[in-house]
């Protein structure tokens, strides 16, 4: 029973630690998922504190994993984990049946699960929780309460502060498509496959063959069949970024901006009304200096109409401002606003609005790349 207890608590602890970490180090992304749940369950009045809820939930999850993994107050922790798992299993069962949200985000953006996969994952974890509980000794063993509670509180406090730090900066581990080093337009790494279609001259039957595997050297067959067309399968090599960038008139500027082979700076803001208090005077100076060096500096926002016009006027914006849907903007930089640097279709670096570098630092970074 001791072996079972050790194995189950380590497995459960590892899952809770991983899940809490990947969401807690990306509190803004977790907040987006919390907002989806609050809207789906008609709890809109809690939206103003969605970020607080997100950080507290991640901290709770991490703390449970911490206590399980290090065998702290294991009797209390096991029963508390059982209660938490029953609650979230019920929610995920409802999600699986009715899909109020497309993805529970239980592992953040690190691992994507469908709602049914999430439910069965929780069932599996519940089995481990039951095994942990029945493996607990019948006679309660005296535990060092003060020491254990002190370690639990220290672990929870440390992770809470870590999550707040990640919110104020950027996630240390980026699981998004726009992470540093990724290419916006991936190069074709798999050769396209060509298919040819031939039609039988007598029956009218049509057949498709791989271009390198049909009886072209059979003169009799070739006399009985006629070429119709050729088809190319690019096998997904024509992937494009999941974003459409357009101006106030609706003209598409996506390729012009993202395929810029020079240094392309993009300031992003999915919502100008809730954006942080960035110093746009300094950002204007930064944009002007970079453009004087021959580099492009633009802004992409999901805000429009009066909100956008007032923003441009009030901050005397000197750079071009384009629009896009808020969802892809949220995946570009986990900051509102945020700055991203592209070069030759690749993501070189990105910063939250509190950490936007000075012009000297950016010029130095560019010179190192050139």
CA dist., res. 279 & res. 286, Å (int): 11
Same domain (yes/no): 199, 163 = no
Same domain (yes/no): 210, 155 = no
Backbone angles phi, psi at 209, to 5 degrees: -130, 150
CATH classification at residue 258: 3.40.30.10
User: pLDDT digit string (tens) for 3-59?
Assistant: 899 999 999 999 999 999 999 999 999 999 999 999 999 999 999 999 999 999 999
Same domain (yes/no): 161, 278 = no
pLDDT(235) > 60: no
Mapping DSSP to helix (H, G, I), strand (E, B) and coil, where does residue 169 land? coil
Same domain (yes/no): 218, 298 = no
CA dist., res. 127 & res. 220, Å (int): 66
In-domain check, residue 240: no
Same domain (yes/no): 153, 6 = yes
The answer to whether the CB of 7 falls within 8 A of the CB of 66 is no
Q: How many domains does the structure of the chain reveal?
A: 3
In-domain check, residue 179: no
103 pLDDT band (50/70/90 cuts)?
confident
The answer to whether the CB of 225 falls within 8 A of the CB of 202 is no
Residue 174 tokens read as: 């980026």
The answer to whether the CB of 326 falls within 8 A of the CB of 302 is yes
pLDDT(214) > 90: no
Same domain (yes/no): 226, 84 = no
pLDDT the model gives residue 191: 67
Residue 13 tokens read as: 């602890």
For 143-151, the CB contacts below 8 A with 24+ separation are 143/73, 143/74, 143/75, 145/73, 148/72, 148/73, 149/73, 151/70, 151/72
pLDDT(238) > 60: no
User: pLDDT digit string (tens) for 291-350?
Assistant: 999 999 999 999 999 999 999 999 999 999 999 999 999 999 999 999 999 998 899 999
In-domain check, residue 246: no
Per the model's pLDDT, the better-predicted residue between 187 and 349 turns out to be 349
Same domain (yes/no): 291, 145 = no
- The predicted model gives 77-94 an average pLDDT of 95
Same domain (yes/no): 113, 259 = no
Structural domain for 328, as ranges: 254-369
Same domain (yes/no): 78, 158 = yes
- The predicted model gives 145-149 an average pLDDT of 90
In-domain check, residue 336: yes
Residues 6+ apart with CB under 8 A from 100: 37, 40, 41, 94
In-domain check, residue 162: yes
Same domain (yes/no): 44, 158 = yes
Per 3-state DSSP, the chain is made up of helix, strand and coil in percentages (nearest 5) of 50, 15, 35
In-domain check, residue 145: yes
Cα torsion for 94, 97, 99, 102, to the nearest 10°? 100
The beta strand positions in 149-224, using DSSP E, are 193-200, 206-210
Same domain (yes/no): 6, 82 = yes
Same domain (yes/no): 64, 208 = no
In-domain check, residue 343: yes
Is omega for the bond preceding 337 within 30 degrees of 0, making it cis?
A: yes
Mapping DSSP to helix (H, G, I), strand (E, B) and coil, where does residue 343 land? strand
Q: Which of 369, 27, 328 is nearest to 184 (CA)?
A: 328
Q: Which of 59, 56, 57, 79 is nearest to 9 (CA)?
A: 79
In-domain check, residue 357: yes
Which domain-ending residue is among 132, 153, 168? 168
């Amino acid at each position: 029973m001791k072996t079972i207890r050790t194995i189950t608590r380590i497995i459960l602890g590892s899952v809770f630690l991983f899940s809490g970490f990947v969401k807690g180090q990306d509190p803004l992304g977790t907040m987006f998922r919390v907002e989806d749940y609050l809207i789906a369950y008609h709890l809109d009045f809690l939206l103003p504190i969605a970020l607080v809820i997100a950080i507290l939930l991640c901290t709770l999850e991490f703390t449970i994993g911490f206590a399980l993994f290090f065998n702290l107050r294991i009797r209390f922790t096991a029963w508390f984990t059982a209660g938490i798992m029953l609650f979230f299993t019920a929610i995920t069962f409802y999600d699986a049946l009715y899909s109020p949200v497309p993805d529970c985000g239980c592992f953040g953006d690190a691992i994507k699960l469908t709602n049914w996969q999430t439910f069965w994952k929780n069932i599996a974890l519940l089995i481990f929780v039951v095994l942990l509980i029945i493996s607990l000794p019948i006679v309660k063993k005296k535990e060092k309460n003060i020491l254990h509670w002190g370690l639990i509180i220290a672990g929870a406090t440390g992770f809470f502060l870590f999550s707040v730090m990640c919110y104020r900066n950027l996630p240390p581990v980026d699981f998004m498509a726009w992470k540093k080093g990724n290419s916006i337009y991936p190069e074709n790494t798999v050769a396209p496959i060509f298919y040819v279609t031939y039609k039988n001259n007598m029956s009218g039957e049509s057949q498709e063959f791989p271009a390198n595997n049909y009886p072209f050297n059979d003169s009799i067959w070739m006399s009985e069949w006629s070429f119709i067309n050729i088809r190319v399968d690019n096998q997904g090599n024509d992937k494009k970024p999941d974003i459409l960038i357009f101006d106030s008139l609706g003209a598409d500027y996506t390729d012009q901006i993202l395929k810029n082979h020079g240094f392309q700076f993009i300031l992003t803001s999915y919502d100008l009304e809730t954006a942080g208090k960035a110093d746009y005077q300094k950002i204007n100076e930064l944009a002007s200096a970079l453009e004087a060096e021959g580099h492009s500096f633009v802004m992409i926002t999901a805000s429009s109409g009066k909100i956008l016009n007032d923003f441009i006027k009030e901050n005397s914006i000197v750079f071009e401002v384009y629009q896009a849907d808020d969802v892809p903007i949220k995946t570009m930089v986990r900051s509102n606003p945020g700055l991203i640097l592209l070069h030759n279709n690749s993501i070189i670096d990105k910063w939250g609005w509190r950490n936007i570098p000075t012009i000297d630092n950016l010029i130095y970074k560019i010179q190192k790349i050139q």
